[in-house]
Structure 1
Amino acid sequence: MDVGAVAWLVTIGLILGLLAVDLALAAVRPHVIGFKEAVAWSLFYIAVAIGFGLVLIAQHGGEFGTQYFAGYIVEKSLSVDNLFVFVIIMSTFAVPAQYQHKVLTFGIILALIMRAAFILLGAALLNLFTFMFLVFGLLLIFTAVQLFRHRDEDPDVQENVLVRATRRVLPVTDGYSGGRLFTRLDGRRAVTPLFIVLVAIGSTDLLFALDSIPAVFGVTEEPYLVFTANAFALLGLRALYFLVSGLLDRLVYLSTGLAIILAFIGVKLVLHWAHKDIDDSVPEVSTALSLGVIGVVLTVTTVASLVKVRRDPTARAHAGSLRATPVNERNEPRQ
């Protein structure tokens, strides 16, 4: 895929422009995001992502367009798991509703920066060493197994290494200080709890990136498509948070569905490595088939979750974890 410097600059400019609008709205008018506003922004970002995909198809053909849409759907589905953790973080730190918009926008900016770095590194490794397809594939399969094993648990936000380190190193105020990240405490510079929340969201998304970037490389090897699929999925994450945060508890089988998707893409990467390095008779999984499998898994997961909740109203979803949560911390009700 031939993408020139101008296309990259225009794309990055579009993404930065959308982020600037989000930041301006959060800074100028901090407010609680209502349902209608969340729906409007969600539809807007989906329309932008679809429009971008149609432009890709017109300029580069249907194959690259299909790869982009497959990557976008993978990232969008994985981002719902991010939302689970965001809800846990917001409730754990009791973030006032009017400041959640701001911290989510900053969190998305951090996520884009970190993922851009991962994409550049991943693309370079895949170009230099074809066995990295095997490494990425095995990483996704391992992650899928761990996520399935701990599908009924939630990550422990308070025990996040960076959060604990920040609390030890920097003075933290008790209040949110009007939604600022920094303030003064007893005459010296201090951070507010909103800064701690941002650290928690950023470091958590760093862990998500370790799974999502290899997953997208499983459906396309084009760095431009990997970056844009990530970017447009993340841009809609803030609006999606306010739209579905109250409904997430109903998706009781989401972690199971995501584990299946990660395992499927992991196997796809392993087969791709074997096809390249061992024997070209080893079958590969096409992008169209990948898109179909992902769509079916997400549909079945959603329908099965809604049926389960209807039959058992006490059933609640969990974000899933990559490691076991101590027994005394499990099943604690969210505030």
Structure 2
Amino acid sequence: MGVPAISWSATGILLVLVAWDLTAAGRAGPLRRCTLLLVAQLLVAALVGAMLLGTSGSDVATQFFTGWATSLAATVDLLAVLLSVAAGMETVAVVVVVGVLARGALAFADAPLVGVVSVVFGAAVLWAAWRAFRGEGDPPRPLAPRLATAAVVLAALVLALLSAAATREVTGSAPLVLLAGVLALVGFRHVFGLLRGLLARVPDASVGLAVVLVFIGVKSVLAGLSGVGPAHDARVVLLTLGMVGAVAALGAITAARRAAR
């Protein structure tokens, strides 16, 4: 079984998981559902990596995992943007659909003006960071519904373009770009819901969000000015994920300490 066959089979499974993410309701609580989806994402990634290792060698398997990490970093960027405009769950569902379609289309198409798009996106994110910082510790103020929808859909399209360009450079394979892009969106809606609830309870939430947005904005601007678009270096990917995790952990610890007083 070659790379395309593995990619198409796994992508079909992932699309089912994304659809379940968008429609699931009822007995399972949001934390449990989110955990199940993220575990499923990890299991699919491990299975695909093992199959690629056995059929195509370690180089292809490494390319897949690097491409997945790159797409996951872009997904984290998108989460931060959605949180900064206080998007609603209905809007997030639209964003997931747009993200899947855009990442699928761009996996097989050349991304135009990647450097310019990266700079403009970074500048917009820095503006969002300033807006979050001015919240003086309160949760982000929601934008007007139509403006928020337009902003997050545009962000989903831009990040799909940047993610596809970076992942293609890493993997050199359109099927792997498609697989990595869809894989990174599994569980997105429920992760957003959990983070939104956390922001509503954590003191100084907007300040922590502003820090994350500044990092994302500066990273995007510098990558665009270099003319190569989004940085896909593994260290940058890990730093992005680590930054978000550290801010979330500090916020949770601060909230717990204040609640104990």
Q: Is the 8 A contact 1:133 1:273 kept in 2?
A: yes
Which of 244, 248, 258 lines up with 1:302 in the alignment?
248
Greater helix proportion = 2
Name the residue aligned to 2:234. Answer: 288
Q: Compute the displacement of 1:311 (Å).
A: 6.4
Query: Equivalent residues in 2 for 1:220-231 (5 A)?
Result: 220-221=168-169, 222=172, 223-231=174-182
1:256 corresponds to 2:244: no
Structure 1 residues 116 and 296, CA gap change in structure 2 (3 angstroms): same
Q: Equivalents in 2 of 1:310, 1:19: separation in Å?
A: 33
1:124 corresponds to 2:124: no
Q: Is the 8 A contact 1:140 1:263 kept in 2?
A: no
Q: Equivalents in 1 of 2:3, 2:69: separation in Å?
A: 19
Report the aligned-residue RMSD: 4.0
Q: Equivalents in 2 of 1:269, 1:248: separation in Å?
A: 30
1:267 corresponds to 2:253: no
Q: Compute the displacement of 1:104 (Å).
A: 6.5
Q: Equivalents in 2 of 1:84, 1:117: separation in Å?
A: 26
Q: Equivalents in 2 of 1:139, 1:218: separation in Å?
A: 17
1:48 corresponds to 2:48: no
Structure 1 residues 48 and 272, CA gap change in structure 2 (3 angstroms): same
Name the residue aligned to 1:138. Answer: 119
Structure 1 residues 135 and 73, CA gap change in structure 2 (3 angstroms): same
Q: Compute the displacement of 1:140 (Å).
A: 3.4
Structure 1 residues 3 and 43, CA gap change in structure 2 (3 angstroms): closer
Q: Equivalents in 2 of 1:213, 1:207: separation in Å?
A: 10
How high is the TM-score relative to the length of structure 2? 0.68
Q: Equivalents in 2 of 1:66, 1:12: separation in Å?
A: 15
Q: CA offsets, 1:71-119, max 9 Å, x none? A: 14313423433663797425xxxxxxxxx7xx96676334312443455
Name the residue aligned to 2:83. Answer: 84
Name the residue aligned to 1:237. Answer: 188
Q: How many residues align?
A: 240
Q: Is the 8 A contact 1:144 1:258 kept in 2?
A: yes
1:160 corresponds to 2:155: no
Q: What SS does structure 1 have at the residue aligned with 2:184?
A: helix
Kindly provide the amino acid, as one letter, of the partner of residue 43 in structure 2: A
Q: Compute the displacement of 1:143 (Å).
A: 2.6
Q: What SS does structure 2 have at the residue aligned with 1:31?
A: coil
Structure 1 residues 255 and 7, CA gap change in structure 2 (3 angstroms): farther
Q: Is the 8 A contact 1:148 1:255 kept in 2?
A: yes
Query: Equivalent residues in 2 for 1:13-52 (5 A)?
Result: 13-19=12-18, 21=20, 26=24, 31=26, 33-34=28-29, 35-52=31-48
Kindly provide the amino acid, as one letter, of the partner of residue 68 in structure 2: F
Structure 1 residues 140 and 79, CA gap change in structure 2 (3 angstroms): closer
Q: Equivalents in 2 of 1:229, 1:154: separation in Å?
A: 33
Q: What SS does structure 2 have at the residue aligned with 1:246?
A: helix
Q: Is the 8 A contact 1:257 1:297 kept in 2?
A: yes
Q: Compute the displacement of 1:212 (Å).
A: 1.8
Q: What SS does structure 2 have at the residue aligned with 1:234?
A: coil
Q: Compute the displacement of 1:9 (Å).
A: 3.3
Name the residue aligned to 2:198. Answer: 247
Q: CA offsets, 1:245-267, max 9 Å, x none? A: 42233354134214313422442
How high is the TM-score relative to the length of structure 1? 0.56
Q: What SS does structure 2 have at the residue aligned with 1:160?
A: helix
Q: Compute the displacement of 1:45 (Å).
A: 2.9
Q: Which runs of 5+ in 2 are unaligned?
A: none
Q: Compute the displacement of 1:16 (Å).
A: 3.3
Structure 1 residues 227 and 306, CA gap change in structure 2 (3 angstroms): same
